[in-house]
Amino acid sequence: MVAALGTASPAQVPDTTVPKVDTAAPIPVEVFATLPAVESPALSPDGTRIAAKMAVGGKQYLVVRPLTGGGKPVMMPVPEKTDVNWWRWVGNDWLAVGLGAQQILYGEEYYITRTLAVSADMTKSNRLGWTEAGLRADDVIWTATDGTPRLLLAKQTGIESMADMYPSVFEYDLSTGRGKRVVAGMANVFDWYADPSGTVRMGWQYNDESQRGSLLYRPGPGSTFKPIAVQKRGDEHSIVTPLVFRADGSAVAIDDSDGRDAVYELSLPDLKIGKRLFGLDRYDVDGVIRNGAGNDIDGYRVTDRWSRVEWVNPELRKVQVEMDKAVGTRRADVVSWSADRTKLLVEVGGASQAGGLYYFDTGYGTMVRIGWNNDQLKNRPLSPVKTITYTARDGKPIEAVLTLPRNRPATSLPLIVMPHGGPFARDAEGWDWWVQYLAESGYAVVQPNYRGSSGYGKEFARLGEGQWGLSMQDDLDDAAAYLVKDGVADPKRMCMIGASYGGYAAMRAAQRGGAYKCTVSYAGVSDLEAMRRYDSRFLMAKTRANWLKKQAPDFRAVSPRFGAANFSIPILLVHGAEDKRVPVKQSRMMASALKDAGKPYEYLEQPLADHHFTRGEDRLEFLKRMKTFLDRYNPA
C-alpha cells in the first residue's frame, strides 16, 4: 500500500554553473523558468544547518547544507511521483519529512501521506508507523524542544473501518522509529492539539452528516476529554481554537468577531475572549510566531501590501529595524531562526527583485549571503510593482497588484488580467517569476483580489459566496476597465491568464466573451460537479460538497465545459498529468468540448508536471508556449 513512498539513497549536491545575464539586453525566457535556488529554508535549532528544497539540474531535492564546519551539502532524492510536502527539524540531528503519493485503492485513486524520519547527514531514515496507517499519516502536532528527536504524530491507523480512519496520536523517537500510542482515536475527531509540554489537550470533533462541530478539552494528562464548546445547527461561526497554550494556563487565539482576524487572549476552559493583543484596521492577521519554548508569542505574520512580521520579542524587533535600515528599498523578511532566536535566515529582495537568502548572527551583527534565489538575476531590479485600488461596478473597492513593464511608458499597454488561485487566497507585492516574465515581454499585469479573496475580513470573503464565475468574474473585468479608463491599458489588447481557480476564471472569460482577445488556463477547473465527485473520495465529503455548492449553487451554469458553444475567443489549455490537486481530466474534458463545438483552442499536456511547477523544464515549456500563443492573438 505504501510502496510508492519509499526513499532513495542520499547523494551529495553537485556543483552547477549558471551563465550570466547581459544587463543591457532583454532577459531570456530561460532565466525566468529557472527554479528558485532555495525554497522554504528551515534553520536547525542550534543554527548550524539549513534544510530546504534546492534546485539541482532543473529539479528540486530536499537538501541539508551546513553553515559551519566546512561540511558538504547532502540531498535526499525520492522516487518518481512522490512529493516532498514539508520538513521540520526535530532536534539538531533529525528531520521529520512529509511525503505524499497517489495510489490505487479498491479501484479508486487516492492521495496517501506518510512521515519519514531522516538523519541530518542523510545516511539514515526511519518510517514512522507506516505499516499501520490509513490515507493520512503526516500530521505532526508537537516536537520536543529539549533537543531529543521526539514528536507527536496524529495519524489514521488503517482504511478498513471508520474506527481506523479517526486519527490516534502517537509519540515517536525519530532516531529509532519506535513509537507508542498516547491518545486513542475518537469518533469524528479529526484534529488534535498539544501544549508545549507534549500533552494532548484538545480535539476538534466534527460530524459530517449533521455538519456540527465541538471542541473537546482536558486540563492535563490522565484526565478525560470533555466538550467545552458545541456548534448549533446551521451556525456558520467557527469555535475559537487556541493557537498557543501559555505557561499561566491561558491561551492565545485568532478571532474574527470584530470583522477581521485579530489575536486575542483566551481563557480556558471557558474560551472567553479577553484582551486584544494585535490586529490591523484593514487586513486579517495571517498567523502567530511562537517563542522558543512554544508557550507565548514572539511575533505576528501579517500581509498588507506585502508579507512581513510584526515582532513582539524586543530583541527581534530591534534586529528588524536595523535590517530594514540596512537593506534600503529592499525588504528583509525573517523566514527561520534558531531555538534561542540569535541566528536568523533572512530573505532580502522585493517584488521586482528575486533577491537572496542571508544568514544573520545577532551576536556579530552582520548578514552573510548564503545564495541568490536566481543566480542569473541576483539582486537586479526588474519591472516595478505597486498596489492599486479600483471600484467594482457595484461600488465595492477592490485591491489589485499592478506590474508595469520596465523601460516603457505606462500608457496604452497590452494587458494581462491574472486572477489568483484558491479562490480563498490573495495576491500581494512579492517576487513572481511568471508575472515578471510577462512584464519583461512588454505586458502590464494586473492581479485583482476579487471578492471572496482572503485577508480582507469575513464580510469581503462572504461576498464571494454563490458568485463563482459571476460577480467574482465581474471584478476581474472591472480591473481591466479601470486600467483602460486610466490610460494604462489598450482596450484592444487584453488577455486573461490564470492557474487553478485562476484557470477556471480564464475559461469563464472565454465563455462570457467581452473585451479579451484570448485566455490561457493552467490547471483550470472546467466541470464543478466532476470536481465535487473527485473531492468526495476524501473524508468530510458532504461538508466539502456543501461548501462548493454554496460557492456555486448551479454547477452546470457556471462550468465552462457546458458552455463550450459560447466560447468566442481562442484559449490555451495547459495541464500537468501529475496534478494531484486538480486532475488533468478537467482540461481534457474542456478541450474535447471545444473540439466538438468547433471552437479555437490549443491544448498542452505536460506528462510529468504537477500543480505547482516544481520542474524547471515544465516552467520553460509553458512560458514558451504561452508566449507563442500571446504573440499570435495579443502581441505586445
Q: Beta partners for 389?
A: 399
Q: Give the pairing of strands 413-417 and 444-448.
A: parallel
pLDDT at position 105 is 78
Helix (H) / strand (E) containing 481: helix 471-485
Please check whether residue 532 lies inside any domain of the structure: yes
Please check whether residue 495 lies inside any domain of the structure: yes
> Residue 410 maps to which CATH number?
3.40.50.1820
Q: Beta partners for 377?
A: none
Mean pLDDT value across residues 25-32: 93
Could you tell me the residue range of the domain that residue 481 belongs to?
A: 385-633
Average pLDDT, the chain: 91
Residue type, 117: A
Please check whether residue 80 lies inside any domain of the structure: no
CA dihedral 594, 422, 463, 482 (to 10 degrees): -70
DSSP string, 144-175: -SSSS-EEEEEE---SSSHHHHSPEEEEEETT
Using the Cα atoms of residue 502, residue 506, residue 512 and residue 514 in order, give the sign of their dihedral.
positive
Beta carbons of 35 and 433 less than 8 angstroms apart: no
Mean pLDDT value across residues 495-523: 96
Give the side-chain half-sphere CA count within 13 A for 12: 6
Q: What is the spatial distance between Cα 127 and Cα 99, in angstroms, rounded to a whole number?
A: 11
Sheet holding 125-127, edge to edge: 83-89, 94-105, 108-119, 125-127
Residue 57 C-alpha from the chain's centroid: 24
Mean pLDDT value across residues 19-48: 86
Give the single-character DSSP code of 508: H
How does pLDDT run across 341-387, given as a tens digit for each residue? 999 999 999 999 999 999 999 988 888 999 999 999 999 999 999 99
Domain count along the chain: 1
How does pLDDT run across 401-456, given as a tens digit for each residue? 999 999 999 999 999 999 999 899 999 999 999 999 999 999 999 999 999 999 99
How does pLDDT run across 191-237, given as a tens digit for each residue? 999 999 999 999 999 887 777 889 999 998 989 999 999 987 656 56
Higher pLDDT, 209 or 75: 75
pLDDT surpassing 50 at residue 11 = no
CB atoms within 10 A of CB 6: 16
pLDDT at position 535 is 66
Q: What is the spatial distance between Cα 128 and Cα 143, in angstroms, rounded to a whole number?
A: 14
Q: Beta partners for 142?
A: 152
Q: What is the spatial distance between Cα 501 and Cα 290, in angstroms, rounded to a whole number?
A: 32
pLDDT at position 235 is 60
CA dihedral 576, 595, 420, 243 (to 10 degrees): -60
Q: Closest by alpha carbon to 324, among 311, 337, 336? A: 311
Helix (H) / strand (E) containing 266: strand 262-266
Strand, coil or helix: 283: coil
pLDDT at position 13 is 38
Integer angstrom CA distances of residue 381 from 288, 374, 377, 378: 31, 12, 8, 9
Looking up cell 497588484, which residue turns up?
401
How does pLDDT run across 604-620, given as a tens digit for each residue? 999 999 998 889 999 99
Grid cell, residue 171, equals 509519540
Q: What is the spatial distance between Cα 233 and Cα 214, in angstroms, rounded to a whole number?
A: 11
Q: What is the pTM of this model?
A: 0.91
Helix (H) / strand (E) containing 549: helix 541-551
pLDDT surpassing 60 at residue 10 = no
Percent over 70 (pLDDT), the chain = 93
